Amino acid sequence: MSSTTPVIFDHDGGIDDLLSLILLLRLPNINVVGVTITPADCYPDDALLSTRKILSLTGNSHIPVSVGQLTGPNPFPPEWRAQPKMCHATPTMLRTSHDDVKVESKAAHEWMHSALTHAAEPVTVLMTGPATNLAAALTQSPNLVDKVQKVVWMGGAVKVKGNVAMHDHDGSAEWNAYWDPKATKVLVDSGVNLLLVPLDATNDLPVSWDFLQQLAVKNTPVSDLSGQFWASTVTSIPSYEFTYFLWDILSTCVLALPDTKLRIETGQVAVSTTTPNAGHTYPCDETGSSISWVASVDADYVREMVIHYLSGEF
Ligand code: AGV
Ligand code: CA
């Protein structure tokens, strides 16, 4: 066994997905073996460019990147998908090359399938976008669950309300679970060792001005770039509620958090794939599958950990 945990990171190119990539690469106990992109809460060209630049900037240009071709039925709002374009427009990112980072010819779900098949030891899969790529790989080869050490997925809302606000939806689902409800169901029912990081836990971690202030005083290259990314998430229209959370960031931290800093619940969870609650992940003893989810965390500890790892030199 290696002393670091091998991790495949599947993200969907949002501001906090890209910040999660920076954070993940700086965690001492993690060895990132590949990055896959789901074209969900992003435009894939932007997500790919920012991913390659971050890998290059952090001295990780050997890590392979693969872009997904599969899409879910419920697209993200175009305003959200366009927002992360600013990430590769910041001066640090503009100065950084990307062509030293290889892009795999295989689509993300195929690359993931082959990486898991050939893995010498079980791999942890961190996912901060919809479950589409891993669900496709597991559908093709259900035995691959044995090659997955665990899945940590920013997805779902188990005992709290969701964050989908669409005319044909009752608001019970979290967006990553809703984008591709069938993939969500495949993942939950797959028998894989699954730990959700749902809204139940992330609701305690809004991106507050106080948090950004604490990051800013670090005054280092990494904290400045991170603060610039987050600055683009504070825009809000008066009277129109909008809060950005440390959704994907918490999920990344879960890979390194001491057991005493989080509370995990285990139970039967079912997934709806139909309106009006498509993507709803709810406790259900009759038709559910047994999975675990992070119910709550020590929010102060997590904030300090994030500020610690997102400061210093690249
Ligand atoms: O539901 C949270 C997920 C996370 O993976 N994403 C954003 C994070 O990357 C969707 C999302 C929910 N609300 C959003 C989202 C918002 N206001 N802006 C952008 N994305
Ligand atoms: Ca995301």
Residue 10, ligand 1, Cβ within 6 A = no
Distance, CA 3 to ligand 1 centroid (Å)?
33
- Residues with Cβ within 5 Å of ion ligand 2? 12, 14, 17, 128-129, 248
Residue 238: the pLDDT is 62
Look up the ipTM and state it: 0.99
Cα dist. 264→70, 134, 234 in Å?
Answer: 31, 23, 30
Question: Which positions ≥6 away from 17 have C-beta within 8 Å?
Answer: 11, 41, 42, 47, 84, 128, 129, 248
> What is the mean pLDDT of the segment spanning 13-34?
98
Residue 116 pLDDT level (bands cut at 50, 70, 90): very high
pLDDT digit string, tens, across residues 286-308: 999 999 999 999 999 999 999 99
pLDDT digit string, tens, across residues 42-73: 999 999 999 999 999 999 999 999 999 999 99
Burial 215-245 (b: 16+ CB within 10 A, else e): bbebeeebbbbbbbbbebbeeeeeeeeeebb
- Residue 1 scores a pLDDT above 60: no
Residue 220: the pLDDT is 98
Nearest CA to ligand 1 atom 19: 80
